[in-house]
Structures are given as C-alpha cells and as structure tokens.
C-alpha cells in the first residue's frame, strides 16, 4: 500500500513538473492593442486558431474567421463575440482544398475590407485524399491553398503595413522532404495512406510552410511586411480527427496527458503576431515564444525558390 502511494506520488510530482516546465509553455506577454486593425485567421473556428482569434478580438481587432464549415464557424463567431465583447468578429467562407474557393475568398475580402494587418495561416489537415483540383489533400490544404491566399492578399498587406504573415507549421518539418518528381507525377509530395505514410505527407507539408516563409521574407525585403513560421507545440486540437480508430486508441492517452491545451498552444502564434522588435527576424522559425535555429533543409535557397516557382504554376498564378 505504501509503495503504491509512493509511486503515485512520484508520478504525480513528475507530471506536475512536466506541466509547469513543458506542457504549460511560455506566454506571449505583449500588451499591444489592435483597435482599427484587421486580422484573418484560417481555421479560426476551433483549436489554436479559435484561441488566437479570441485574444486578438479582446485586443480590439476586427477578426475574420476564414473557415470551410459555415455552421461551426458561425457558432465560433457567437462564442468569440460573447467572450471578447467585440462584435467585429465575422465569418467568411474559405475552403483551402479548392483553389476556386481561395480566389473567391480573396476577391470578396479585397472588395469589402479596406485593410489587412495580420494574416494568420493557421488551418491544417492530417488526412489522405484529394482536393477539388486533384492535389494531395495535405499538400493542397496545408501548403498550396495558403500559398495562393497569401499572394492574392499581399498587396493589401503592403498597403496596410507594417503588417505580418504568420504561418503555423510544426516541428514535424524536420522529418519532411520535398520530392519535386513525386509532385509532378502525383500532385503530392509522397504516396500512401497508412498512418505512418500520412504522417510523412504531413511532415513534407510542414517543411513547405517553413520554406515558403523563408522565401517570402526574401521577396518582401524593402517592404513593410514581415513573416514568421512557428511550431505551436504538441497541442490538443481536432487536427487528428480523421485518423484511423487504431491510431486514436494508441495516441489518445498520450494526447490527453502530455499535449498542451489550445490556449498554451496559441502563445507562439500570438508572439509572432504581436511582439515588437522581431521585424529583423522575418523569415525565421519560432517555438516557445522564441526564435529557433533552422535546420539546413529549412533554409535551402535553391529548394525554397523552386518550391515557390512550382507553387506559382500549380496554383495558376503564372
């Protein structure tokens, strides 16, 4: 009995230390107010995106939730208006799995909104399948849709500057590669539908996010727009809701005990969006509310440039 109590006490103690040192994570301490500013948050109806949107709304921003599911997005708008006391939270339809939808969203936004101060490319997906345009779902949503959206809104960002683009990526990018041959033959950066293969596809897409940010920063030099990519941490969100039952059984206990809640997970997004004095770090990668060293493949000039050129062609920009 005493041994069991001792073991329980040790486990609880270790978990408490982990919670306060790792799982809780650092906080964004910026006191910046955003009255008169406009923000887009893709996937802002749930998880990290919704939490970040709430914080930005509380700071006085006009917050546009760019989401696919109208019913869930409108419910999120009601929640955010109630919790923030800010009625300038609105929904605009955006399906990143459809380049047509991306163009429609951008056209509507540019016609109805006079400024854009923050573009937070937060939405992400972890599932196999194909987009409306025939691209791999993970590549199409996590990278190509956000790439097109950003470029279509870039002039408005410049006009409204100083402004920022925030790309939510993942530490999984360390495991990613960019296989241009596979992309040209399969419209995806890899093949396969098993749990491990889907994780690899996800990792490839997250490397795309980091490389896109890296290249975008170079192309924005001399403007008043800066950009940042970030790892939010291991967060309890709905991104894995489409994974198989077996993997849910395996992952759920780890997910419940050791992943951050969305509030903790949103802090680095908020840091990159709000922190003063990081403009000289445009194009860099952040985690735990701090800039991180980038691995060699995340700052490969030739690959970043080629990915940009291929993405322009695939999204119909050239």
Model pLDDT, residue 262: 78
Q: Whose CA is closest to 97, among 74, 120, 128?
A: 128
Say if residues 205 and 142 touch (Cβ distance below 8 Å).
Answer: yes
69: left (phi over 0), alpha (psi -120 to 50) or beta: beta
CATH architecture of 36-314: 3-Layer(aba) Sandwich (3.40)
Q: Is the peptide bond before 162 cis (omega within 30 degrees of 0)?
A: yes
pLDDT value of position 254? 46
| CB 299 within 8 Å of CB 218 | no
- The two three-digit tokens of residue 224, written as one number: 């008043």
Please tell me the distance from the alpha carbon of residue 94 to that of residue 92, in angstroms, as a whole number: 6
The low-confidence residues of the chain, meaning pLDDT below 50, are 11-13, 15-16, 18-20, 236, 239-242, 247, 250, 254-257
Q: How far is CA 146 from CA 43, 87, 151, 261, 289, in A?
A: 11, 26, 9, 25, 23
pLDDT of the residue at 11: 43
Q: Which residues does 296 contact at the CB level (< 8 Å), separation at least 6?
A: none
What pLDDT is recorded for position 16?
A: 46
What pTM did the predictor assign?
0.87
3-state secondary structure of 139: helix
pLDDT of 215 reads: 98
Distances (CA, A) of 250 to 178, 189, 193, 240, 253: 29, 26, 18, 12, 7
Catalytic site residue from 202, 214, 228, 271 = 202
Measured in degrees and rounded to the nearest 5, phi and psi for residue 226 equal -120, 165
What is the per-residue pLDDT for 261? 80
Could you report the per-residue pLDDT of 7-55, keeping only the tens digit for each? 555 544 454 454 445 556 799 999 999 999 999 999 999 999 999 999 9
CA–CA dist 48, 264 (Å, integer): 9
With CA atoms as reference, report the closest residue to 139 among 44, 41, 207, 217: 207
Dihedral of alpha carbons 27, 29, 35, 38, sign = negative
144: Cβ–Cβ under 8 A, 6 or more apart, which residues? 99, 131, 135, 311, 314, 315
The residue count of the chain comes to 318
Q: Answer yes or no: 202 catalytic.
A: yes
Domain boundaries, the chain: 36-314
List, for residues 134-169, the tens digit of each pLDDT value.
999 999 999 999 999 999 999 999 999 999 999 999
Contacts of 268 (CB under 8 A, 6+ apart): 28, 230, 231, 232, 233, 286, 287, 288, 289
């Amino acid at each position: 009995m005493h041994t069991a109590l001792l073991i329980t006490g040790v486990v609880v103690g270790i978990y408490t230390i982990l919670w306060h040192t790792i799982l809780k994570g650092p906080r964004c301490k910026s006191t910046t107010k955003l009255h008169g500013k406009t923000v887009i948050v893709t996937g802002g109806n749930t998880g990290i995106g919704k939490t970040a949107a709430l914080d930005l709304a509380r700071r006085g921003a006009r917050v546009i939730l760019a989401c696919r599911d109208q019913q869930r997005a409108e419910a999120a708008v009601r929640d955010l208006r109630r919790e923030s006391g800010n009625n300038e939270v609105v929904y605009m339809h955006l399906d990143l799995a459809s380049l047509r939808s991306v163009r429609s969203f951008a056209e509507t936004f540019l016609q109805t909104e006079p400024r854009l101060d923050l573009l937070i490319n937060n939405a992400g997906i972890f599932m196999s399948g194909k987009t409306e345009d025939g691209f791999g779902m993970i590549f199409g949503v996590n990278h190509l849709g956000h790439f097109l959206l950003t470029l279509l809104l870039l002039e408005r960002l410049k006009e409204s500057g100083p402004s920022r683009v925030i790309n939510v990526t993942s530490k999984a990018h360390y495991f990613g590669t960019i296989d241009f041959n596979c992309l040209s033959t399969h419209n995806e950066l890899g093949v396969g539908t098993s749990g491990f293969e889907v994780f690899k596809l996800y990792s490839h897409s997250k490397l795309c996010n980091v490389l896109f940010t890296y290249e975008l920063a170079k192309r924005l030099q001399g403007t008043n727009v800066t950009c940042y990519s970030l790892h939010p941490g291991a967060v309890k969100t709905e991104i894995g809701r489409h994974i198989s039952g077996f993997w849910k059984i395996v992952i759920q206990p780890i997910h419940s005990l050791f992943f951050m809640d969305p509030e903790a997970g949103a802090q680095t997004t908020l840091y990159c969006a709000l922190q003063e004095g990081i403009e000289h770090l445009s194009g860099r990668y952040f985690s735990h509310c701090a800039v991180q060293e980038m691995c060699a493949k995340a700052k490969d000039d030739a690959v970043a440039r080629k990915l940009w050129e291929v993405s322009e062609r695939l999204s119909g920009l050239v």
